[in-house]
Amino acid sequence: MKRIAAAALVNGLLTAGAVLTLMPFLWMISASLMPTGEASAIPPRFLPSHVTTEHYRVLLTRLALGRHVVVSLGLAGTITVLGLAVNVMAGYAFGKLPFAGKERIFQVLLAALVIPAQVSMLPLFLMLKALGLVNTFAGVVIPGLASVFGIFLIRQHAREIPDSILDAARVDGASELTIFRTIALRLLTPILVTLALFSFMGAWNDFLWPLVVLTDDRLYTLPVALANLVGEHVQETELMMAGSVVTVLPVVLLFVALQRYYVAGLTAGGVKG
Amino acid sequence: MLPERSRAGWVLVAPALAAIGLFFAVPVLAALALSFTDFDIYALADLDRLRVVGLANYQRLLHDPRFWIALRNTSYFVFVGGPLSVAVSLGAALTLDARTARWKPFFRTVFVLPVVTTLVAVAVVWRYLYHPRVGLLNHVLGWVGVPPVDWLGDPRFAMPAIIVLAIWKNFGFNTLIFLAGLQAIPPRLFEAARLDGAGAWQTFRAVTLPMLAPTFVLVAVLTLAGYFQLFAEPYVMTQGGPGSSTLSVVLLMYEQGFRWWNLGYAAAVAFVLFAIIVAFTGLDRLARRFAAPRQPAVAQHGPGERS
Amino acid sequence: MAAAAIAVHGCHRGGDRDDLVLWAMGSEGDAAAQLVREFERANPALHVRVQTLPWSAAHEKILTAFVGDSMPDAFQAGNTWLPELRELGAIDAIDARLDASATLDRADFFPGVLDTNVIEGVTWGLPWYVDTRLLFYRRDLLERAGVAEVPATWDAWRDAMTLLAEHPATADGHAILLPMREWEVPVILALGNRAELLRDHDRFGNFRSPPVRAAFAWYLDLFTRGLAPRASASTSGNLYQDFARGAFAYYVTGPWNLGELAKRLPAELAESWDTAPMPAARAGEPGLSLAGVRAWWCRRRARKDDAWRLIEFLAAPERQSALTRLTGDLPASRSAWTRSGLADAPRTRAFYAQLQSLRATPKIPEWEQIATSIARHAESMIRGEETLDAGLADLDADVDQILAKRRWLLDRANAVTPAPVGSDAPSASTAEPHAP
């Protein structure tokens, strides 16, 4: 009897938590399907009187949000692929290869994590200006490539690769770079997926930097375009909600599909020594 | 053999170090240099109008009421919002970890969903939830007789509203870390406690809490460091208002920097915040030595919290 | 995905490099895009890309674009940003081109309006539509409350509001809506009270001076008496719905709301609202308002001939009339007013009168920062976080800090050339109101 009560309590709490967590999403979806004006009705409505996809049509046609979906996909994809390459190489080297000053450098990198990213933004902007990269996609991509978190994550996993495997390859005469390409990368694949997922989500959701760097509205990423839209159409609640759904949907789907890798990343980066 | 490995090591870290050096270290040093000048819109037009002012920006900062307001608001967010957020995460993790819990993967997914979503987008939704007249929140509170609150328009409620949003957005992340910590506790300890005849509460106090301490310290430090950098939530929700009730230190820095181009002053704000965070990470080291030998991790820049 | 990014990038870099880029803000952006199509038909060799930005982000965006060297060839903005952009060397003087223009005539612009785009005798922008503010009101509510006349003075205005408060139209109704975090209304009142906001050639704040203090006191009193709600812009409800349901009867705003109200108010209220010039501080004076205008400017490094042709086209009286048709905005060109009969039409007539009685804000690069500070301190005084005197003292301290660099530059310039300080002709203090 006590056990049943405990189970009821636990699952009741979880259900309540889930409802509270999901509520904003559910309302967002519901409001995005309401006829114009209904989301501001008094008393508030939970469900549309009739479902309309009008706002999504407006977004994709008149406001051409599709373009920004493509831009965001492209940019997040590029950052993911290039960043993965840079961080995996470094992470593996820090984990597995002896080189002078390795530990010292790694500690400096870790210490750099406490510097708020915004500190570097102002001079970075001036630097990119000097390089002619303001208002270009490269200006968005380049500063986001190397990530201390990514290097750390890979390093933790690289250290678990048994030396014996690497040494066997060395005895066979394989060069270090070949070993990295053929053996290490294969063994690190699961954590690569994790890092790719983190990078993609981070890049997709990033707002401030693209907002500052991109002035041409054709280059806007989806969050920047959405913020612009909010500024111009603030009275059109339903349209805003549709825009939010479009912005949030890709990362949510990606997360639901790959969440096991996401969890793996946190477990690895978070708790293991 | 060794020289080749060492050379390969350098080759492999070179791109990352170059990128970090060029696009992080150099700008940070440049920001430090800027903080000793009065670089502003006049200097931007003509470098002849730039003055090296020594510590004047830092002195001005100490006498700037808005800086103190920002620091007070940020502290409010860190020391009220932070513990609340950790408590919610811990509660969620313990509940999820309970043996009687069902559909665990589903609940876990739901809890992490807000973490991965775009803040700009969910902020649009929350602004309507918080709306004093047509918002869902006041409507629901009305059922239990709470009079309408102007969540984002009343200086007393704006920061609590930001805290609630931040907790909703972030708690899933720490929940996952706590879950991992809970699952790493060897089952034999629970077994031993059971054999000793310990009840649920006693087991929790004697086994779960101490074993969870390192994770707890880790989560607390990450949350502290992250929450000090409060920016995106007030930027998209309130722009620091009403009044200055949600002005954070980073928001003040952004405003001075990218709105007015007072780069010298903005850089000084940034470095003072940096010093504050370092002071707290110093505390973190103490706590770490105190709490556990395990190495803490660095997930704070991980899950898309760049903005 | 990498390929996609590069493809989009390539597309940006190639192809349309020859486009003229035009930035337009707010709801006028759509109108500008329509007018530009006409321009392209007249100039087949030129293609113009119109980008619209929300007003809330425009200032930051323009400055960032200047620093990042990615400014548009021509853009539309408010006159208060002019001194800043001039100081930066971001925009181009247009005197020679304006004087040589076949379609534009300097004298055709309202003098007080064109003057906002002139600094030290150099003209920088072409006024497009006026942004002066005055009184919008619900005539039916005023009649119901027993207010017979449009108030001509502050006293009469406050009496009318008091009557309204005694006969509220809705349970949560107020006499007037004054968004707390705005600088415009207190500044209009101060200028109307013949105050100088800054002193000593715009070197210091002057907010504790009696005329400014009196204006702020009168303004705060409206909140103390409960005539205006303590409502912030971010969370107040839908403005137009609130005006329609009678949540307030007075609102101080600009011409763009003529179009918005016509579009958004229910049909049965179409004849129930009107406009009036700002009431005067004292009887026998004209009520003053802000000399504000949204104008077209050219980027310093633009393709000058093409950019000029574009803004010359857009600022021509015909296009100003067209803009009025498209958005309800009011032209800055006098011939556009006569042509469209706006000077005698209901609602716009009040603006015509107001345009004869304007005063400008100080023409210094720091103005936008000062204005933001005014808005912030006004809000904290309204909320009662600061008393009137403490708030104005803080405001002065804040403004003095903002102007510190300016003082240094002026002193340095004076040390080099002991001539009178040319660059800081105190525009606010010399710009006399034009007699009606």
Tens digits of residue pLDDT in B75-123? 999 999 999 999 999 999 999 988 888 898 899 999 999 999 999 999 9
CB C331 within 8 A of CB C344: no
Best B13, B39, B224 member to test A by mutation, with max A CBs in 10 Å, is: B13
Cβ of residue A168 closer than 8 Å to a chain B Cβ:
no
pLDDT at residue C235, rounded to an integer: 45
In tens, the pLDDT along B166-182 reads 999 999 999 998 998 89
Which string of DSSP letters, residue by residue, matches C318-344? HHHHHHHHHH---BSBHHHHHHHTTTT
Amino acid at site A258: L
**B69/A25 Cα distance (integer angstroms):** 33
**B156/C118 Cα distance (integer angstroms):** 44
**B79/A117 Cα distance (integer angstroms):** 21
**Please, what's the b/e burial string for C367-376 (b: 16 or more CB within 10 A of its CB; e: otherwise)?**
bbbbbbbbbb
pLDDT at residue C234, rounded to an integer: 45
CB B12 within 8 A of CB A92: yes
Task: Indicate the CATH number for domain C2-130+292-359.
Answer: 3.40.190.10
Binary contact (C68, A213; C-beta < 8 A): yes
Nearest Cα of chain B lies from the Cα of A47 at a distance, in angstroms, of: 12
pLDDT at residue C333, rounded to an integer: 92
Please determine, for residue A180, whether its predicted confidence score (pLDDT) is greater than 50: yes
Q: Which of A161-175, B77-91, C15-29, C352-366 has the lowest mean pLDDT?
A: C15-29
Binary contact (B243, C385; C-beta < 8 A): yes
Of C24 and C422, the structure prediction assigns the larger pLDDT to C24
Length of chain C: 436
**Closest chain C residue to A229, measured at CA:** C54
Task: Find the chain C residues whose C-beta atoms sit closer than 8 A to any C-beta of A.
Answer: 1-2, 4-9, 12, 21, 26-27, 29, 51-57, 61, 64-65, 67-71, 237-238, 240-241
CB nearest to C235's CB, from B38, B60, B132: B132
Binary contact (B113, A176; C-beta < 8 A): no
Binary contact (B27, A120; C-beta < 8 A): yes
Q: Using a CB-CB distance cutoff of 8 angstroms, which residues of chain C are in contact with residue B130?
A: 235
Kindly state the tokens that stand for B285: 């080291």
The rounded mean pLDDT for chain C is 86
- Domain boundaries in chain A? 59-270
* 3-class DSSP assignment, residue B210: helix
Best A40, A79, A215 member to test C by mutation, with max C CBs in 10 Å, is: A215
Best B259, B262, B263, B265 member to test C by mutation, with max C CBs in 10 Å, is: B259
Please determine, for residue C433, whether its predicted confidence score (pLDDT) is greater than 60: no
pLDDT at residue C237, rounded to an integer: 59
pLDDT level of residue C430 (50, 70, 90 thresholds):
very low
Torsion (CA) A54, A58, A59, A65 in degrees, nearest 10: 140
Question: For residue B32, how many other CB atoms are within 10 A of its CB?
Answer: 16
Of all residues in chain A, the percent with pLDDT exceeding 70 is 97
How far is CA A74 from each of CA A140, A192, A203, A262, C244, rounded to the nearest angstrom? 11, 19, 10, 21, 46
Cβ of residue A106 closer than 8 Å to a chain B Cβ:
no
Cβ of residue A226 closer than 8 Å to a chain C Cβ:
no
Sketch out chain B's domains with CATH numbers: 58-291 (1.10.3720.10)
**B303/B218 Cα distance (integer angstroms):** 16
Asked if the domains C2-130+292-359 and C133-290+366-436 are classified in one and the same CATH topology, the answer is yes
In tens, the pLDDT along C196-253 reads 999 999 999 999 999 999 999 999 999 999 999 886 544 455 788 889 988 899 999 9
Q: Using a CB-CB distance cutoff of 8 angstroms, which residues of chain B are in contact with residue C89?
A: 45
Average pLDDT over residues C337-364: 91
Question: For residue C199, how many other CB atoms are within 10 A of its CB?
Answer: 15
pLDDT at residue B248, rounded to an integer: 95
- Would you give the distance in Å from CA A137 to the centre of its chain? 17
**B139/B146 Cα distance (integer angstroms):** 9
Average pLDDT over residues A224-234: 83
Please determine, for residue A122, whether its predicted confidence score (pLDDT) is greater than 50: yes
What is the topology classification, in CATH, of domain C133-290+366-436?
D-Maltodextrin-Binding Protein; domain 2 (3.40.190)
pLDDT at residue B285, rounded to an integer: 62
Binary contact (C405, B130; C-beta < 8 A): no
Please determine, for residue C3, whether its predicted confidence score (pLDDT) is greater than 60: no
- Would you give the distance in Å from CA C407 to the centre of its chain? 27
In tens, the pLDDT along A27-43 reads 999 999 999 888 877 77
In tens, the pLDDT along C291-334 reads 888 888 888 876 778 899 999 999 999 999 999 888 888 999 99
Task: Indicate the CATH number for domain A59-270.
Answer: 1.10.3720.10
| Burial zone of B1 (CB within 10 Å; 0-12 exposed, 13-18 middle, 19+ buried) | exposed
Phi, then psi, of C32 in degrees rounded to 5? -60, -40
Please determine, for residue B283, whether its predicted confidence score (pLDDT) is greater than 90: no
- Would you give the distance in Å from CA A90 to the centre of its chain? 20
pLDDT at residue A5, rounded to an integer: 86
Average pLDDT over residues C133-159: 92
Can the peptide bond before residue A250 be classed as cis, meaning omega within 30 degrees of 0? no
Nearest Cα of chain B lies from the Cα of C61 at a distance, in angstroms, of: 9
pLDDT at residue C394, rounded to an integer: 95
Kindly state the tokens that stand for B172: 């899933």
Please determine, for residue C427, whether its predicted confidence score (pLDDT) is greater than 80: no
Q: Using a CB-CB distance cutoff of 8 angstroms, which residues of chain B are in contact with residue A110?
A: 298
Cβ of residue A80 closer than 8 Å to a chain C Cβ:
yes
The single residue listed with the structure tokens 């440049």 is: B30
Best C28, C70, C263 member to test A by mutation, with max A CBs in 10 Å, is: C70
**Closest chain A residue to B24, measured at CA:** A120
Cβ of residue B152 closer than 8 Å to a chain C Cβ:
yes
Q: Which of A41-45, C120-124, C271-275 has the lowest mean pLDDT?
A: A41-45
CB C197 within 8 A of CB C206: yes
Binary contact (A90, B13; C-beta < 8 A): yes
pLDDT level of residue C418 (50, 70, 90 thresholds):
low
